[in-house]
DNA sequence: TGAATTCATCGAACCGGTTCGAACGATCTT
DNA sequence: AAGATCGTTCGAACCGGTTCGATGAATTCA
């Protein structure tokens, strides 16, 4: 069933039906009702492809996220959920595209085949060819994350430098002097992932400021890697009394490692980091951490994108968030650890 | 840039370009190359909406999942990831639709506006009006989950009855006599969620078979609820020595509750259940559980759907999976618990 | 009473592909 | 040499909407 059939049954032309539905030209109350009755009776809904072809808008936004392999973290789930929800509120659908780099076929299709009106990108790298490309061709997009030169592009970001720094200061204030840093996997750090790079940066600078002795580690995104990483930390420097982690997925493993090493959190070892609150609350003791406001970020990204779509030519906008550290139960004053 | 422009520059007609690209009719090697050169030079990609309008296929599948509110669990994330990945392998895109019930607007749009060729549904209820509706109108879809009367519909399911039953037998074999069951939230159980209903059923029957003393609980999908639930369990029957949980998100809270009550897992309390392996491995001690093969299920669902799309009229197919219990570290022989 | 204005509606063109039947020249038969 | 056959290519129609200019009837004004 199509608009022609509706028009026939209502005894009007196709264009009148179209105008009655869109309201872009006045239609008399009589005919409007006649048309509406037919539509209700037949349960007519206009074909999305035809509409998209005619007016050049798909009413769909693309959500570009990295393919698995690097396993999904809880944060990514929260992003996806909130983006979909926020988009639905604006009557936009969300098309998922698993693409890490500009050259991915799925990414090329998204743009080239005009499947979406705009895109939201996740897992940003400091040098990100996807964003360079989109900015170059002027394709409406918003990044969840911030590149090295974010000027002129639209984004919603977390101040990872400040967050990692806040963790260091929190630990230093508690008297910790020897602190380890558990980053995302080495491959991501090398690829230039923003959170991994800026987080490391913030940690290192703040530690230097406070004169701490630190070691930094990369760690796979799973519990087993977390366990292995913690063993290395205590082997490399048994006097370590605290750690900061950006690695949500390794958290369970880190805790397990501490338990196995006979360290009690927070009595003789403190743990903190940057983690979504949902996950910080599942471990025991609950993690004192800078809570990643994933839901808010997803919503803000959609807000920005819709704004950009509705008002082309608006100068670039962004949101830089720096949530405070939520004090829970995983950090405490440094004791006097037994030196080897 | 469109197919007409390519045709002009290559000095052929639009139909020839179309045939050169689709291969549905022979095109001479010469013209094919001429066309290909122009396409490469201009970076032409056919417009997805136009193509969808012309041939009636969008090359997109819909993934219908419940709106947040009931917070996402790790399993859902795994499903989404694997579905997107498997679909990409078939050159299908994935459109997300947050819809719990048939009447949701987003769900109606997916179907009525012909945005997708087929759909995959998550979080199935035993009586599910979405599936009834789809079956009725013959819309190609595959459910991840199984309704009460699954005959004639396509699905990939987990044998929750058998899984919960296996957990009970495992505990009974270890000598446990008083066992609690931690289900998903009451609202989901009441709504008739398949896993909650069949899991409860399997647990209850197996417990009766083995003559166990049991209590069953519903529990919110978060750590705080898990903690509260565990406190209730021990208050209701302090002699309880083991529990079975379907609730992944509450797991952290259950563990915390046990620790606070001074119970050591697995020495004087055993925990098991049905949980995706990734999450079973993050807790300490690692959870002995029937691992939900979320990735495999997502992949199978896409396989089935593509098959159904490619060969309309094929009789309904399904996969019922019953993964074995993975022995990890959270269960052990029942001691002689101090009775009150 | 005729001209100007307003309002509602219509027909046709267009968006960018796909597909069908027809036409073309070259080769093969007989 | 005329006719049949084949491989290529073209033009036109179609998918189902949107949008623009035109038309005609009703209303207002001079």
What is the CATH code for B3-46?
A: 1.10.260.40
Q: Is the pLDDT of residue A142 over 90?
A: yes
CATH superfamily ID and name for A160-291 = Response regulator (3.40.50.2300)
Cβ contact A49–B114 (<8 Å)? yes
Domain with CATH 1.10.260.40 in chain B: 3-46
* B46 touches A at CB < 8 Å: yes
Residues with CB under 7 A from strand C: A 11-16, 19, 25-28, 30-32, 53-54; B 2-4, 14-15, 18-19, 21-22, 24, 46-47, 50-51, 53-55
Protein CA at B56 to nucleotide C1' at D14, angstroms:
12
Q: Token pair of A103, please?
A: 């050259």
CA distance A132 to chain B (A): 18
Q: Is the pLDDT of residue A320 over 60?
A: yes
The answer for B 205-264 residues in CB contact with A (under 8 A) is: 222-224, 249, 251-253, 255-256, 259
Residue B189: per-residue pLDDT: 96
Residue A69: per-residue pLDDT: 59
Task: Print the SS3 string covering chain B.
Answer: CCHHHHHHHHCCCHHHHHHHHHCCCCCCHHHHHHHHHHHHHHCCCCCHHHHHHHHCCCCEEEEEECCCCCCCCHHHHHHHHHHHHHHHHCCCEEEEEECCCCCCHHHHHHHHCCCCCEEEECCCECCCHHHHHHHHHCCCEEEECCCCCCCCCCEEEECHHHHHHHHHHHHHHCCCCEEEEEECCHHHHHHCEHHHHHHHHHHHHHHHHCCCEEEEEECCCCHHHHHHHHHHHHHHCCCCCEEEECCCCCHHHHHHHHHHCCCCCCCCCEEEEEECHHHHCCCCCCCEEEECCHHHHHHHHHHHHHHHHHCCCCCCCEEEECCCEECCCCCCCCCCCCCC
Q: A279-293, A324-338, B119-133: which range is least confident on average? A: A324-338
Give B-chain residues touching A281 at CB under 8 angstroms. Answer: 222-224, 252
pLDDT band at residue A82 under the 50/70/90 scheme: very high
**Low pLDDT (below 70) residues in chain B:** 68-72, 336-340
List, for residues B90-119, the tens digit of each pLDDT value. Answer: 999 999 988 877 778 888 889 999 999 999
Cβ contact A96–B98 (<8 Å)? no
Top-level class of domain B60-158+294-323: alpha beta
Of A99 and B119, the one with more pLDDT: B119
Residue A71: per-residue pLDDT: 63
The answer for A 91-150 residues in CB contact with B (under 8 A) is: 93-98, 106, 108-109, 112-115
* B174 touches A at CB < 8 Å: no
Residue B340: per-residue pLDDT: 42
Residue A185 burial (CB count, 10 A): 21
Protein CA at A21 to nucleotide C1' at C5, angstroms:
27
**pLDDT average, residue stretch A223-246:** 97
Cα separation, A35 vs A33, whole angstroms: 5
Establish whether the linkage from the previous residue to A317 is cis, with ω within 30° of 0: no
Protein CA at B15 to nucleotide C1' at C23, angstroms:
15
Residue A339: per-residue pLDDT: 45
| Residue whose pair of structure tokens reads 């903190």 in the numeric block | A272
């Amino acid at each position: 069933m199509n608009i022609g059939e509706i028009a026939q049954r209502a005894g009007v032309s196709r264009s009148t039906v179209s105008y009655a539905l869109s309201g872009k030209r006045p239609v008399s109350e009589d005919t409007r009702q006649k048309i509406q009755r037919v539509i209700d009776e037949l349960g007519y809904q206009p074909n999305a492809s035809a509409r998209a072809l005619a007016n050049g808008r798909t009413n769909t936004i693309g959500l570009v996220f990295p393919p698995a392999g690097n396993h999904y973290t809880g944060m990514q789930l929260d992003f996806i959920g909130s983006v979909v929800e926020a988009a639905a509120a604006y009557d936009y659908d969300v098309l998922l595209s698993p693409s890490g780099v500009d050259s991915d076929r799925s990414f090329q299709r998204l743009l080239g085949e005009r499947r979406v009106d705009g895109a939201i990108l996740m897992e940003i790298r400091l040098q990100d060819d996807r964003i360079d490309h989109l900015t170059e061709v002027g394709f409406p997009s918003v990044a969840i994350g911030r590149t090295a030169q974010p000027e002129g592009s639209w984004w919603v970001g977390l101040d990872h430098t400040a967050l990692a720094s806040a963790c260091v200061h929190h630990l230093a204030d508690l008297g910790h002097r020897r602190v380890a840093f558990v980053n995302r996997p080495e491959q991501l750090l090398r690829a230039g992932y923003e959170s991994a790079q800026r987080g490391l940066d913030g940690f290192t600078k703040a530690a230097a400021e406070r004169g701490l002795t630190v070691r930094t580690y990369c760690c796979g995104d799973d519990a087993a890697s977390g366990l292995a990483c913690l063993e290395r930390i205590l082997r490399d420097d048994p006097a370590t009394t605290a750690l900061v982690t950006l690695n949500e997925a390794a958290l369970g493993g880190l805790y397990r490692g501490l338990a196995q090493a006979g360290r009690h959190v927070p009595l003789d070892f403190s743990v903190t980091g940057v983690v979504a609150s949902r996950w910080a609350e599942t471990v025991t003791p609950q993690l004192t951490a800078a809570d990643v406001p994933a839901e808010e970020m997803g919503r803000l990204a959609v807000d920005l994108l819709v704004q950009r779509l509705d008002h082309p030519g608006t100068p670039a906008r962004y949101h830089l968030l720096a949530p405070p550290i939520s004090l829970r139960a995983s950090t405490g004053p440094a004791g006097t650890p037994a030196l080897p």
